[in-house]
Amino acid sequence: MITREPGRPGPEATDYRLIGMTGEHDDSVQAAIEGEIRLLDPEVRSSAVLLDELIDPEFTEIGASGRLWDRDSMITALSRDQDASAAPIVVSDMKGRVLAPGIVHLTYVSDADGRRARRSSIWRRSEQGWRLYFHQGTLSAD
């Protein structure tokens, strides 16, 4: 599970600690996890500039609603619709695997104010750093 360390100001990725993370734990997996956590941060989600840094130009997502998203529509929706005072997204069961050099697959469960979803992300390393290439969310009843 990933939790915010008590008493730490600001929503930086380094404010989180990994608890019980399983999977191949190396620099690539860690970089992908840090990117994923940053993307869940309300301050990052409300900034088109910061989202641009983390989302791959070829990004696609199959949302928990079943909607297909592309990079531009996702950045527009996130940066326009964020409420910085909203309850934080709680992440658990984060697992990561290197699929190939420069490609990492993450899976986890998110809980956004009672709306639970199983999530799968593929991160790709580029000249600009690690970026989210693909994401899928599926609502979870458990």
What pLDDT digit, counting tens, does each position of 4-56 carry? 434 433 344 333 444 445 444 589 999 999 999 999 998 898 899 999 999 99
Query: What one-character DSSP code corresponds to residue 101?
Result: T
Phi/psi for 81 (5° steps) reads -105, 10
pTM (2 d.p.):
0.80
Amino acid 26 reads D
Which residues, other chains included, contact 121 with Cβ-Cβ below 8 Å and sequence gap of 6+?
32, 36, 105, 106, 107, 132, 134, 135, 136
Write out the two tokens for 70: 């592309």
Residue 9 vs residue 95, higher pLDDT:
95
Strands 129-139 and 55-62, sheet pairing: parallel
Domains of the chain: 10-139 (3.10.450.50)
Q: What is the mean pLDDT of residues 88-116?
A: 93
